[in-house]
Structure 1
């Protein structure tokens, strides 16, 4: 169970955050770099958006939590699990809390496939699945996600069935996670969405 450390959050500049003794570095990725092209290349060409910038998140504490869970998956599932790169779309204003404290399922608004944190392999789908009230200035968070055993979820799924860790929906377009730090927010793509992107699914 993770602690909400948001009350300790302060920033000495826009690229460095602290929670207690944990330092979070936000690294701007140059548009000319292969890393930038690789991240942007994962975004569907059907997404009607203008990309403003891409940053990489270096949060040592969250990495440690994630890697501990990855090792637990490796042992308990005999190495049979996936480490996926999936998107989560949100408002600009939510990014600082997420990259500092990680995602929190208590803030979930849309829960068609389970009341956890939702991710998608499709940036376009993640954007459309996002709460329309977040407005035009948004962020796609490219996240490492651990997926072991999964089953179809529904609106009234509060936890996956015994022996499972993930629920899915819409033919694999949605993955829902319920346990803290089984995901790590690796990159943030800041973008402006066109009006068509505000339509919900």
Structure 2
């Protein structure tokens, strides 16, 4: 069974060209809801929300999922709780600057380089993927797709 999957990263054309030329660089990424990392989705439609339509580009990547921890919604909530040292409110995910720092640390401490989990507010099989360690060589290839109407 193959562990290689196709994932999409939505960004501006300018940023996509830099990624294609120089590769992904964590120094250029802001902290997302799961910490500092490169964010992907298994849905090309989902990533279109990360750029203006006229400037949108999608970087299509082949990712080796062997070192990516796949989480259910419940497991993702538990990870945030663990990153908060058990202080999370169980009814709502409690994410703060400390959590954003701790999530990648907890994940890498368990031997993984990223996580995948169900995307919120989507009623289908859309998932997100966050890679926290770009030295792990889990991104095997990338192609640039310009989003044209």
Query: Which TM-score tier does this pair reach, normalised by the shorter chain?
Result: 0.5 to 0.7
Greater C-alpha radius of gyration:
1
Q: Tell me, what secondary structure is at the counterpart of 1:124?
A: helix
1:163 correspondence with 2:111: yes
CA contact (8 A) 2:64 2:140 kept: no
Gaps of 5+ in 2: 81-94, 120-125
Q: Tell me, what secondary structure is at the counterpart of 1:127?
A: helix
Q: Give the counterpart of 1:141 among 59, 71, 76.
A: 59
Q: Which is richer in strand?
A: 1
CA distance in 2, matches of 1:139, 1:82: 25
CA distance in 1, matches of 2:14, 2:43: 22
Provide the TM-score with structure 2 as the length reference.
0.61
Higher relative contact order (CA 8 A, sep 6+): 2
Gaps of 5+ in 1: 1-79, 194-201
Provide the TM-score with structure 1 as the length reference.
0.47
Q: Tell me, what secondary structure is at the counterpart of 1:158?
A: helix
Q: Tell me, what secondary structure is at the counterpart of 1:95?
A: helix
> What pairs with 1:5-20 in structure 2 (closer than 5 Å)?
none
Paired position in structure 1 for 2:90: none
Over aligned residues, Cα RMSD in angstroms? 2.6
CA contact (8 A) 1:137 1:192 kept: no
Q: Which is richer in helix?
A: 2
